[in-house]
Structures are given as structure tokens and as C-alpha cells.
Homo-oligomer: A and B are copies of this chain.
Amino acid sequence: MPVTIRANELGRFGVDRPTLLLDEERARRNIVRMAGKAAAAGVQFRPHFKTHQSAAVGEWFRDAGAEAITVSSVDMAAYFAANGWQDITVAFPANVREMALIDALARDIRLHLVVDAPEAVTALAHDLRHRVHVWIKVDVGKRRAGIPWDETERIRDLAQRIHAAKGLDFAGLLTHAGHTYDAPDAAGVVAIHSSSLARMRQLQAALRAGGVDPGVISIGDTPGCSLAQSFTGADEIRPGNFVFFDLMQARLGVCTNDDIAVAVACPVAGKSAARHELVLYGGAVHLSKDTCRDARGRPTYGCLATWTGDRWGSPEPGAPVISLSQEHGLVQVEDELFHSVDIGDLVIVLPAHSCLAADLYSEYLTLRGKRLPRRRSNDRVTTPATAT
């Protein structure tokens, strides 16, 4: 059968404009695989839910045995607490402006917070009435948030403050080796993972030698957790993107093309024969403006995928998304594919970065036609569970 990119079968589910698709089978397989890897390694599995932000998808993690989760905002914690999750880490420096909501959550669930500054510890100790578990955010090389791993004195000082604060339970050392995303390839990812974990162990030992209980070690980036053979020294892993993966991860060698579990269905709105371009109803507000590198190293917003009749197949390297404006997407396609679709047909775009693309929608459409609601990052939750 010739390759096709025409996905008009989706019309039976009412797909008539850009629509976020979810392959439940692949997502469940990704979840089970990572949960199994954590279990085999004897580490706590605390998946990051910022990628999917859906109570329904959360249930698939529960089916795989997950009981503890990670989120990236207090709002997101409130959403999942309202959906039955009782053990949540907010893996973002504690926002001292949200003490009332944090305290309400701490009353209802086992809440973990992250800090990298003494001011935050002081504020938490002063303002919270309910106990929270507090982690020190350590920077092992990402150079974003956290105290650099080799600044042992600062970290020891912070640990002592947390140990000394009433109402705060010191949990341990937490890092996100997100610089794995900048690695050239899979071997580079593994090298960063190994050195990051070694740095965390070294820090842990230094604190212990200095007479401070360093707690446990929590790590968590999808590239490292997917490719690593071992988590020696880690007590907990917090990967997130792996539930869906995306073109960026596939290009980095972290997953196979068959692991990519979300895509966006877009109507073809126009065709330029002169430029060999499809004009999609599908722009920056449907895909996000994040990019990854294509096979030739050029930045791309995504690419079309083949369609097998009931699901998408492989990314089509000959059909990159080369330009996005608010609602328009331009796809440069090779001759045969260009002539195989008409205006009004549906095609499948694999976005560069699934976390940002998915956050543009308030629901998923599964390949079996189920619509699963999801929150978007700037939605607010007010429920009895979170009212102060």
C-alpha cells in the first residue's frame, strides 16, 4: 500500500478543525514501561503530570501502580488533589505568594515542596499551619533553578534551616537534569544522566560527612530516565514527557517513532503548487512555537505523519512544518505527497514538543473517539479540597 498522509477517517469522530489526538494504547504502554523500570530498580515512581494534566490520563498511571505524583504549580497540585491524588510534589521553587492555597493543600494531602533559598524556608516556616515535606532543589548542570551541586556550604546551610524549622519535614535532594535535552545524541544523554547522579551522590555524602542528614535523592528527566540502565543512588524518579514523548525525544534517540502518543489533526486549508507547500488550519495556537532539530539540524515545529487507517504511523521527514503564524501552518511536502491530498483533507502533525502543544487544548480525542478533558496551565481550580 502506498504511503498516505490523508487521515479523513477521523471525520467520523467529528474532527473538523485542529484537534489534539491521543493514542491511548501507546500512552498506556509508555506508562507501564516506565513504572516497570522504576519497580525493577527499586525506586519510587513519582511521574510528572505537567505533560498530560488530565485526571483521566492520571487513572492510567494508577492502573500501573502509581500513587505519588509530581506537578509544576500549586494550581496543578490542587487539580490533581481534587481528583484523588494524596501524595504530590510541586517541583517548582515554592511560590511564597500562594501560602493560603499551599496550606490548604498541606491540610488535605501529603504535600512536597521544593526550595533553593533561605527566604523561602523562612516564609514556609512562618506561614504554614500544616506540615509539608521540603526538598532542596539542586542544580547539577541545567543552570536554571536550584543551588549548584558543588556549593556544599550553601546547601548544608539550607538543609539545617529546614531541619530546624517546625512544621517542615526535610525530605532530601531533588534535581532535574534537563540539560539532557541539549545532548547531541542518546550516548550524550546517558553520560549526563550518569554524571548528574554521581554529583547528587557526592553531595549527599558530603552533607552526611558534615553531620547533616541529607535525606534521599530524587531525579527526573525523561531522556535520562528513559535511556539509563540504572539509577544507582537515586531513591525516586520523576519523568513526565515519556507518557506522550514527541518528535524532539525521537530525534534525540530517547524513544522510537512508535512511542509518540499525541498528535494534532489539521484540515488542509490550501495548497501552493509553486512552493510545494500545504497550508494547514493549524498554527502557533494549535502546535506551539517550540522547535526541535530535523535530520539536517534545522529547527522545525514538527512534521506530518503517515496514516494507517486508524492511527498515525511514522513521521514523514519529507514533510516538515516550516512556518507557523497564529492559525496557519506551512508544510513543505515532496511531490508525491503533495498530490495525494486535497483541500479539506485531514492530516496529522507531530508537534516538536508534546507538553506545550497539549497545553493549548482543553481535551484529548483518543483514536477510539473518546473525549478526555484536561486542564490548561492557566486554568484555576477552586474546589472544596483547595478552599482555605
Contact B343–A119 (Cβ < 8 Å): yes
- A323: chain B residues at CB < 8 Å are 144
Closest to A241 in B: B326
Contact B377–A344 (Cβ < 8 Å): no
Contact A327–B92 (Cβ < 8 Å): yes
Q: How many copies of this chain sit in the oligomeric assembly? A: 2
User: For the complex, what is the distance from the CA of A267 to the CA of B117, rounded to whole Å?
Assistant: 15
Q: How far is the CB of A367 from chain B (nearest CB, A)?
A: 19
Mark contacts of A125-157 with chain B using CB atoms, 8 A cut-off: 1 yes-contact digit, 0 otherwise.
Answer: 000000000000000000111101000000000
- A342: chain B residues at CB < 8 Å are 119
Contact B360–A377 (Cβ < 8 Å): yes
A interface residues (Cβ-Cβ under 8 A, vs B): 11, 15-18, 50, 72-75, 92-93, 95-98, 116-117, 119-120, 123, 143-146, 148, 178, 267, 269-272, 274-275, 279, 281, 284-286, 288-290, 323, 325-328, 330, 342-344, 346, 355-356, 359-362, 376-379
- A344: chain B residues at CB < 8 Å are 95-97, 119, 123
Contact B343–A360 (Cβ < 8 Å): no
Our pick among B93, B97, B274 for the contact of A279 (Cβ within 8 Å) is B93
User: For the complex, what is the distance from the CA of A267 to the CA of B145, rounded to whole Å?
Assistant: 14
Given contact pairs A18-B378, A119-B342, A326-B359, a sample of 9 additional A-B residue pairs in the complex whose CB atoms are under 8 Å apart: A17-B75, A92-B327, A93-B269, A95-B281, A143-B272, A144-B325, A285-B376, A288-B289, A289-B289
Contact A326–B50 (Cβ < 8 Å): yes
- A16: chain B residues at CB < 8 Å are 95, 97-98
- A286: chain B residues at CB < 8 Å are 377-378
A/B interface sample: 22 pairs, CB < 8 A: A15-B97, A16-B95, A16-B98, A17-B73, A17-B74, A50-B327, A72-B326, A72-B327, A92-B328, A93-B343, A117-B271, A123-B344, A143-B275, A144-B325, A145-B279, A145-B328, A146-B270, A285-B356, A286-B377, A286-B378, A288-B289, A327-B377
